[in-house]
Structure 1
Amino acid sequence: MRLTLLTVGSRGDVQPFVALGAGLARAGHEVRLATHPRYERLVTGAGLEFAPLAEGHLSRGTETAAGRAWIEKGSYRLPTWVGFLRDARSVADRRLADAAAACEGAQAIVASNLAFVLGWQMADHLRVPLVRAYIEPPAWMFPSKRRAARLAPAIRQVAWAAAKPWLDGVRRRAIGIGRVPLREPFAGLDRSGSLVLYAFSREVLDPPATAGRRAEVTGYWFTDTTFDPEPPPGLEAFLADGAPPVSIGFATMIDPDPAASTAFVVKALALAGRRAVLIRGDQPIDAAALPDEVFVIDTVSHAWLFPRCAAAVHYAPAGTTAAALRAGIPSVTIPHMTDQFLWARRLHELGVAPEPIPRLELTAERLGEAIRVASGGVEMRGRAAALGQRIRAEDGVGRAVELIGRELGVPPPGPGAPARAERPASTLAANPHP
């Protein structure tokens, strides 16, 4: 069967779909993965067909200077999603046109939470099935958000009605199709029993009853394919020359002054008595100015680095949280937006992380103490190792592939089954929406 997967956002939003796409391809499906152009190598490196989706300045979150500036200056005054909604609007026409091209000939569409509206529009227009595939549950589903859960349908409908004139215009300009319906689509999909996949482990989180009767928690979608550069020899020598270090993702700090943030980290490490691998990303950090106990690197595979570390310091995004759990190491979490607070809280409740430190409450002393507890606590390290072993035993991709095949009425591949389904002719122009 010809499938198109749609996902937008940061690498943590994309890499699980690369793993899922590879699993679907192994099962005999013909898979096209549509996402931002900067991830083309990630997609093609897994043997999948790539299609581009336009990218706004905030699409990659804290991976970009614009994203970090928004989080630092704006997200404490406005809900974080407001900034990303504005960002999506800035590229909406191009992104919808890209999605239409990516879905040409698709017999089914799988869409991430951030790409849901794109996926729903294409599935509705082409009259093909839609599978929702989320790497995290909506925040309003959880106990601290019970009031929001009760109000969610009304809030979604109000937001949909407000966005409808604009969305109608985007559809007309971008691909020449008609208006969206008056009713928002989430409720209809839930009533119909449409499949929703959650790409995390039941060892970490069970979705509550409000998630819907077709919600399936599959386990994490990991890939063992390496997309990052090979670790430099200097890093391997650093790791071998002492006690396991802690890993620190620099995006955690979100500071307009990288030098000040670096000094902050060095002080916390000294207080904890720990070495560190500092992943600086695109930040201008002068490695030569740092003590020998800190190794600076632009990027490295979490799957390679984390098992060699005593703990990981991060802001609890879904992808990094999953990597730390899989590696079986404790975390130190500094959440500052959206689902990060959920994952940070769950890690602490599971006993594999100290209490989360909200970004605005972060001090060198608090960070140093949390690093000391996470990297040196025998019980915490034992719990993390045991949980990691259970998570590594799961096959989230295999379970998701099985459920998607069952949803689409595709029998499991057997001996002599064709490797690829025949691609149907395009139906985009032939199926105008009323």
Structure 2
Amino acid sequence: MRILIATAGSRGDVAPLTGLGARLSAAGHQVAVATHVTFADSVRAAGLEFRPLPVDPRAELTSPQGRDIHGSGSGPRALLRLTRLARAFIPALGAGIADAAEPGTDLLLTTSTTADLGQCVAEAGGIPNVVLLLQPHTPTREFVPAIIGARSFGGPGNLLAGHAVQAVVDRLFAPAVRDLRRRLGLPRATVARARRDRTVLHGYSPRVVPRPADWHPSHQVTGYWWPVADPGWQPPPRLLDFLAAGPPPVCIGFGSLVVPDPERLTATLLAAVRAARVRAVVQSGWSGLSTPDGLDDVLTIGDAPHEWLFPRAAATVHHAGAGTTAATLRAGVPTVPVPAQLDAPFWSDRVTRLGTSPGPVPLPRLTPVRLATAIRQALDSPWHRTHARTLATALVAEDGPAKVLAAIDRLAG
């Protein structure tokens, strides 16, 4: 089967799908990934064909509008600011997906940012569209949509919040969907109508977020889809030397989060590391965090695969994105989430409930004392270490891609 995966967003949105794509390829399918040019090397390193989609996500997030999202946290305000940012490039994204879906494509796999546009392309091509989600978005009584935080409004309130978020997303995509359907010669249809009856697969563990009982049977939780390891990556000598020079460090990174004052954040992190009496590896990320060279207790690095780095850590401190949270759980180390926006509070709440974290230190309230205290709690408590290791062992036994393969086989049959 010739499969196209169309995904847009940050590295955390793309990396798990390259791993899933590699697994589909190993099962005999021809797999191409349509995403941003900045991730082309990652796609090709997974042995998959790359097809470009427009937009540079890093440039968008570092723009004035993108930085504005940082200050909005989670909840409706953050969602509205995100929709304003996305509105400008959604039409180009739809055209890019249509161009990437070359004749002969048998199946389209899309994500939260590409599903509604991809549905049009799939309908025009007469092929199935399976939606792959890394966060729960489907309305449910059991919790609010991940994108607006973790606070429960009770069963009816949670369900209402889910439908409200879906309505905002539908309204955001409606003009681009209308134009794309016209371009593809399709009859007019609402976003909600086009979305009916499609399979939705969630790429996280049911141990982390159990499947809600009120979801439609077509919405399933498969287990994680782990990023594929880049066979060409080698740890830099200075990182190996730092790791060998002392006890396991705390790994600190904020991924694709773009903070307005990286120098101030770096100073806070350094002070917290010293107050907690730990060593640290700081990943620069999209914010460009940078500590002085030559420090004995802190090393700043660029990209490093989480599956390699995190198991060598004593604990992690991170922005609580879905991908980084998953990597920490897989590594079996305690964690201190520092949520700032969108779904980060949701994942922070999950790791706290699971016992792998002493609790979040939200970025707007981050101070050296608060972070140092949380780091010491994560390191000193046998409770957090035991729960982290136990959960990691259970996650290794899961096989999320196998369930995706089974769903594809059902569609092919």
Same-fold call, TM cutoff 0.5? yes
How many residue pairs match? The answer is 401
How far residue 342 of structure 1 moved from its aligned partner, in angstroms, is 1.4
2:409 counterpart residue number: 405
- Counterpart contact for 2:254–2:319, Cα < 8 Å: no
1:212 is the counterpart of 2:194: no
Q: Which runs of 5+ in 1 are unaligned?
A: 410-434
Quote the offset at 1:253 in angstroms.
7.9
Classify 1:86/1:48 alpha carbon distance in 2 versus 1 (closer, same or farther; 3 Å).
Answer: same
Equivalent residue runs for 1:386-397 within 5 Å: 386-397=390-401
Question: For residues 319-369 of structure 1, what are the alpha-carbon distances to aligned partners after superposition, in whole Å with 9 as ceiling and x for unaligned?
Answer: 001100111001100112222111111100111001112222222111111
Q: Secondary structure at the match of 1:332?
A: strand
Counterpart in 2 of 1:281?
285
2:178 alignment partner in structure 1: 168
CA contact (8 A) 1:58 1:87 kept: no
Distance in 2, Cα, partners of 1:154 & 1:285: 36
Counterpart in the other structure of 2:137: 138
Corresponding residue number in structure 2 for 1:415? none
Could you tell me whether the CA contact under 8 Å between 2:117 and 2:177 is conserved in 1? no
Please name the residue that 2:86 is paired with. Answer: 88
- Mark the CA change 1:39 to 1:228 in structure 2 (over 3 Å): closer, same or farther: farther
Shifted more, 324-333 versus 257-266: the winner is 257-266
Whichever residue aligns with residue 7 of structure 1, its letter is T
Q: Do the aligned partners of residues 388 and 87 (structure 1) sit closer, same or farther apart at CA in structure 2, a change above 3 Å counting? A: same
1:295 aligned residue = 299
Offset of residue 237 of structure 1? 1.4
Specify whether residues 183 and 110 from structure 1 end up closer, same or farther in structure 2 by C-alpha distance, changes over 3 A only: closer
Shift of residue 164, structure 1, vs aligned partner: 3.5
Q: Does structure 1 conserve the Cα–Cα contact (< 8 Å) formed by 2:322 and 2:347?
A: yes
Q: Does the aligned pair in 1 maintain the 2:70–2:340 contact within 8 Å?
A: no
Instruction: State how far apart, in whole Å, the 1-side matches of 2:398 and 2:98 are.
Output: 35
Counterpart mapping for 1:266-345 below 5 A: 266-283=270-287, 285-288=289-292, 291-345=295-349
CA spacing shift, 1:177–1:159, aligned 2, 3 Å: same
Structure 2 match to 1:51: 51
What is the aligned-residue RMSD (CA, Å)? 2.7
User: In the alignment, which residue of structure 1 is the partner of 2:29?
Assistant: 29
| Alignment map for 1:111-126 (pairs within 5 Å) | 111-126=110-125
Which amino acid is the alignment partner of residue 36 of structure 1?
H
User: Would you say the 8 A contact 2:283–2:301 is kept in 1?
Assistant: yes
Q: TM-score, normalised by structure 2?
A: 0.88
Assess, with a 3 A threshold, how the Cα gap between structure 1 residues 50 and 389 changes in structure 2: closer, same or farther: same
**CA distance, structure 1, for counterparts of residue 286 and residue 169 of structure 2:** 36
Q: Which position in structure 2 is the counterpart of 1:16?
A: 16
8 Å contact kept, 1:199–1:220: yes
Contact 2:117 2:180 in 1 (8 A): no
Counterpart for residue 184 of structure 1: 192
2:250 aligned partner, one-letter code: V
8 Å CA contact 1:133–1:198 kept in 2: the answer is: yes
Matching of residue 7 in structure 1 with residue 7 in structure 2: yes
Instruction: State yes or no: 1:196 paired with 2:200.
Output: yes
What SS does the aligned partner of 1:184 have? Answer: helix
- Read off the aligned partner of 1:102 and give its amino acid letter: A
Which residue of structure 1 lines up, in the alignment, with residue 148 of structure 2?
A: none
Deviation at 1:265, TM superposition (A): 0.7
Paired residues of 2:37 and 2:56 also in contact (CA < 8 A): no
Greater relative contact order structure (CA < 8 Å, 6+ sep): 1
Structure 2 counterpart SS, 1:79: helix
| Higher alpha-carbon Rg | 1
Q: Secondary structure at the match of 1:211?
A: coil
